[in-house]
Amino acid sequence: MKHISSRSSNNDRLVKVLSTLTCCVLCLLITSSMAVARDKITWLYFNFPPLYIKQQKNVSGFGIETMRRIWADMPEYSHSLVLATPGRMKQELSLKKNVIALGMLKTEERLKTIAYSKNPCRLASPTMVVLRKADAQKMAPAGVISIRKLFKDKRLMFADIPGINYGKLQPLIDKYQDRTRIISTPEGAPHLISMILQGRADWSIVDPLATEYFNKKAGTKGKISLVRVKELPAEFIPGYVAGPKTDWGQQTLDRIDDVMRTLVQTEELYSIQAPYIPNGLVKDFNKSYDRLIRKPTLAPSPVN
């Protein structure tokens, strides 16, 4: 009888051990499955050198460098990169999908449907008008031009990127877009400038960083000119990481903010973007970076 009792006891222990192991495995599988679904981030980008530079299967630029540095500090997430037009980026974010976009400018319209990081991730250079050099010499000999004047000239073709937002100039563009001649390209700034050089368009509103990059790559320096906008202050504007207005979006942006704070503190963020700044804008960029990114990001959090 003692032998039978002992064997029964051992069987009971074995059953308990197996049950415990089974529960643990099931818990791990369930947790793992939930983690995969919760922790996947799709990062959207579009071809806008030097923020995003798409060359066949390769993607580079200071926006991509910033992303990859963030990814390194967020190993708990699975990260993927997807090409999208500015219009699609806005749509995906507004539809509350689990996507993130790095470098977006804040506008009142976007704030209604899109969440933003607290800390900036880049500085957008002062918006300027790009013209063929000969046209710039005639129309803007002092290096400044009026957007209103350009829109009112029915002979001129305005080149546009669908879905892009022009910040403080957007209300003016909205006012005149139905009264002017427009040609659009979803292929980004390089193709936009190519259309101007080819005579398919006459002018556009551009980021000087993108234009400088294109000039160096295509050897077009001296063929086009950048002109300051009369209706707009010549200043750098902070760009942010954008996400959906959901709990997932806010939690993800809070986590990204922690990483951005570290990148600013270690000067990594500055070292990523600074090499892409044209020589003529370096002084203004340094002042703006200190005022708009370094000081507010590293300021002590207010005590409640």
219 and 140 within one domain = yes
Q: pTM here?
A: 0.70
The answer to whether position 12 is within a domain reads no
Residue-wise pLDDT for 190-248, tens only, equals 788 889 999 999 999 988 888 888 877 777 777 888 898 998 877 899 999 999 999 99
Q: Are 147 and 213 members of one domain? A: yes
Is pLDDT above 60 for 304?
A: no
Does the residue 206 lie in any domain? yes
Q: Domain ends where: 212, 229, 246?
A: 229
Looking at residue 273, which CATH number applies to its domain?
A: 3.40.190.10
The per-residue pLDDT for range 43-95, each reduced to its tens digit, is 999 888 899 988 888 999 999 999 999 999 999 999 999 999 888 999 999 99
Residues 225 and 242 reside in one and the same domain:
no
Please indicate, yes or no, whether residues 200 and 62 belong to a single structural domain of this protein: no
**Rounded-to-integer distance, Cα 109 and Cα 58, Å:** 33
For residue 175, pLDDT over 50 is answered with yes
Residue 20 lies in a domain: no
CA distance 191 to 220: 13
Last residue of a domain, one of 229, 255, 288: 229
In a domain, 172, yes or no: yes
My answer on whether 222 and 135 are in the same domain is: yes
Residue 116 and residue 251 share a domain: yes
Domain contains 110: yes
| Tally of structural domains, the chain | 2
Distance CA 18, CA 119 (A): 50
> In this structure, are 168 and 81 located in the same domain?
no
Average pLDDT of the segment spanning 3-28: 52
Position 14 in a domain: no
Q: Is residue 303 part of a domain?
A: no
Q: What is the mean pLDDT of residues 129-135?
A: 93
Q: 102: pLDDT confidence band, cut at 50, 70 and 90? A: very high
**Both 49 and 101 in a single domain?**
yes
Residue 85 in any domain: the answer is: yes
Residue 208's domain comprises: 128-229
Question: Do 132 and 209 sit in the same domain of this protein?
Answer: yes
**What pLDDT is stored for residue 35 in this prediction?**
42
- Nearest alpha-carbon partner for 68 in 56, 81, 87: 81
Res. 124: pLDDT tops 60: yes
Q: Same domain, yes or no, for 220 and 269?
A: no
HEC per residue, the chain: CHHHHHHHHHHHHHHHHHHHHHHHHHHHHHHHHHHHHHCEEEEEECCECCCEEEECCEEECHHHHHHHHHHHCCCCCEEEEEECCHHHHHHHHHCCCCEEEEEECCCHHHHCCEEECCCCCEEECCCEEEEEHHHHHHHCCCCEECHHHHHHCCCCEEEECCCCCCHHHHHHHHHHCCCCEEEECCCCHHHHHHHHHHCCCCEEEECHHHHHHHHHHHCCECCEEEEEECCCCCCCEEEEEEEECCHHHHHHHHHHHHHHHHHHHCCHHHHHHHHHCCHHHHHHHHHHHHHHHHHHHHCCCCCC
